A and B are shown apart, each in its own frame.
Chain A
Amino acid sequence: MRRLATFLIVFLMTAHAHADVDFLDQDLTVDLATDPSEVTVTASVRISMVTDTDSLSLWQAAIPLVSIEWEGTPLTVTERGWWYSADLPSTVTAGTEGTLSVVMSGVVDCPYPGGYVTCVRSADLTFLMPPWEAGSWYVMNAEGSTFDDHTGSIAITQPTAHNAAAMGITPVMVDNGDGTSTWTFAFDRQVSYLAFVAGNLDEVTSSDGFSIRGLYQGDTHVRDLMQGMVDEAGLFAPIFSDLWGAPPVEEVDYTTFSGRTPFAGTSIQGLIFLADYIFTPTYSYLISAVSHELAHLWWGTMTNAASTSEFGFFAESMAEYSMWRAHGIVSGEDVRDTGSRMNAVWYMYGRPSPTSDTPVLSPLGTEIAIFAVYHKGSTVVRTLEEAAGAEGLDAGLRAMVEAGPDGANIVDFVDAVDAASGVDLTPYVDIWLRGRGFPVVTVTPSIVESTDGATATISAAGLDFPMQLPFKVLMADGTVIEDTLPYDFGSGEVVIDLPDLPACVQIDPGWTAVRELSPSVDGDVSFDGRVDGADLIEVALKYGGAMPSERRVDGAYDPLYDLDGSLVIDDGDLSTVVAAAE
């Protein structure tokens, strides 16, 4: 049975620390034309010695090692588990540069925990990803505490009819005249994680905006879904660029992939792998989350946090937040609101138990961290946006992108937001990101009719989770009056003059915070201080909403309207309003 794993992100690791050697550049050739089940890779790696060195430490090869030479001299290799050592002919002094030449040829083997794989090689489809456990298809420095980035190129020779994509690089294609072509992807940016896809892949391209290629194997249904995804990405990428900075890639490539892979989607710089099963009806709801992977180009590749507890926030919380923010810009705030609600609700009620929880600033890798980091965390960023204003928040986020890989951290982020907006988010970070849980807020409206309209006083009380809750007053003539209810130290109040009695007051209809609202009068979901037909209509408008049993499924569930707590908004809730009004 295929395990439905989460969307993952492969991040760009930065310059190595404490290594004796530094990889400067790596040119790779990949032969996919000679044997349909095997791969031949040649690597020419330019290396600079940081200290006097007599041995290289390299990641275990994913493809059988044929030869390894330093400046033309064969090296002796010793297997050491997930890595191997290659003894140099003699000590190479610090500051010396030389070329390591490696040839690998045969069947690929890229194991991933649990028996999964991160490489596939067949006549029709080849994809090679960076290693997780062991088995790198290119030469990786195994020294140091982080990965060694470098410039380089990948030249793939394959049947001329085939297609290829790698890391957001626009390829240069040369027809070899023998039924094969060579696709060369050259990168002059510093990268340590290399990946490509090649094979008998059809292609669609984005209609507008950023250049996106969608490579796929499948029928017209798959094609149409892929077209929708690349069109969305074409619109979203310029939005992210405008907000936080242009990406270091020329294009973004989406590709379907199949095989015993552990994840639904993976982003490796500008190359986004999408498992073929998400194109099936069962998992079609994941299609709407694909732009989360696009956002990882900013949150994961262009920047990330060195701290394991902050890594998830600056990668997963931010990618999820970014996707829904772009939805709002392209399709309207209502669409954004559905995502924010879905994420908040899944964190609040989808967890295995109410006591099972962890702060947003927690390391990834546990089930509960998915609830906190992806679902609560993305909504907390929305909360921060309300607190500091979009411009203030964006100044902080831009500073994080500019800080680059390993450069993002909460303290600098808070400082940058403060400098731009004058709003100190420290209490928000302490409570929302470092703490657990969410507030249940009791809202008490008091609406007094006056000679020229009405005055509404809306009070809120509950746990101390700072937030600025937007609210809307809907008038019966269709007019909408918007304002904000400030909430701090567990309470808040706002007074607003209205031209008439309100038809309905909606508190935080856009779900800018992970919170539960509780009217002071049971059944008064319209927050006008009384239970009447206005409440009946409000509940009926949400009728059919149900708490989903799976993450990322939008059940249109809003607990405010689930008056009988059945996790479905249905006749029982309408009856509850009717009974409360009697």
Chain B
Amino acid sequence: MRWILVPLLLLLGACGESRSKPTDAGEDVIADVQEEVVVTPGFEADPEPEGPGVYVDVDVTDPDAPVATVWAADMGPVFGIALHVTLDGTHVAAHDAAIEPCLGSDSAGEAEYLVGPGASDVSLGAVRRGPDAGEVEITAPVLVATIPLTVVAHGASRVEVTSVQVRRADGSFTAIEVAGGLLTTGGVP
């Protein structure tokens, strides 16, 4: 479920004309031509990783409460995943991050999960409980975590995935591509 909302339309200085920009879905979004800045909430994701990757999506359905989701795909066998989601604290802040049981059940003793919530740096970790517990195959996109955001100020800022490491049960690393994106917040801060 990834889509690209029309991001920031800055139509300045036009006189009496209509301009349109096609979306990925082929629809047209018509913006009024006005002598003012139009800020539309949205999230423009970086190109999705081709191979093993971690990427972020942000749902801005509620402009006052965007929700970021972190996804993992095409990793093959995984023993553990660690990453950080970093935010521009002048625009958004994180709270109540929730990690998903992407490597097995915590309560059943299969995996252990870590969430280190910071306003602008959320650390996430998922790991199998020891090499004997084996690895989990990740191919199709798997939801890793959900991070509700609070809007601090209008405008565009980067949402990044940083310090990603994906390791196998022998301790070796799987090289990972990451994709963040540009989040535009709107509404009333």
Contact = CB atoms under 8 A, between A and B. Distances in A.
Contacts of A504: 165
B81 interface: yes
Size category of the binding interface on chain B: 35 or more
A533 B172 contact: no
B175 interface: yes
Contacts of B113: 578
A577 to B, nearest CB: 7
B127 interface: yes
A476 B176 contact: yes
Contact of A536 (B80, B131, B164, B172): B80
Contacts of B69: none
Nearest to B125: A533
B129 interface: yes
B59 to A, nearest CB: 24
Contact of A532 (B84, B167, B172, B173): B84
Contacts of A536: 80, 82, 112, 114, 125, 127
A543 interface: yes
Interface string A25-38: 00000000000000
Nearest to A504: B165
Contacts of B133: 543
A481 interface: no
A25 B162 CA distance: 77
Given A477-B175, A503-B173, A574-B129, A540 B83 contact: no
Interface in B42-73: none
A540 B173 CA distance: 14
B91 interface: no
Interface string A512-533: 0000000000000000001111
B131 A577 contact: no
A533 B171 CA distance: 14
Interface in A467-488: 474-478
B87 interface: no
Given A533-B80, A534-B163, A578 B171 contact: no
Which 9 A-B residue pairings sit nearest by Cβ, starting from the closest? A533-B125, A533-B82, A543-B130, A537-B80, A532-B123, A581-B116, A536-B125, A540-B127, A503-B165
Interface of A: 474-478, 501, 503-504, 530-537, 540-541, 543-544, 571, 574-575, 577-578, 581-582
14 contacts: A476-B165, A478-B172, A531-B116, A532-B114, A533-B83, A533-B125, A534-B163, A536-B114, A536-B125, A540-B131, A543-B132, A544-B132, A574-B127, A578-B112
Given A532-B125, A540-B80, 4 more contacts: A532-B116, A533-B83, A540-B79, A571-B112
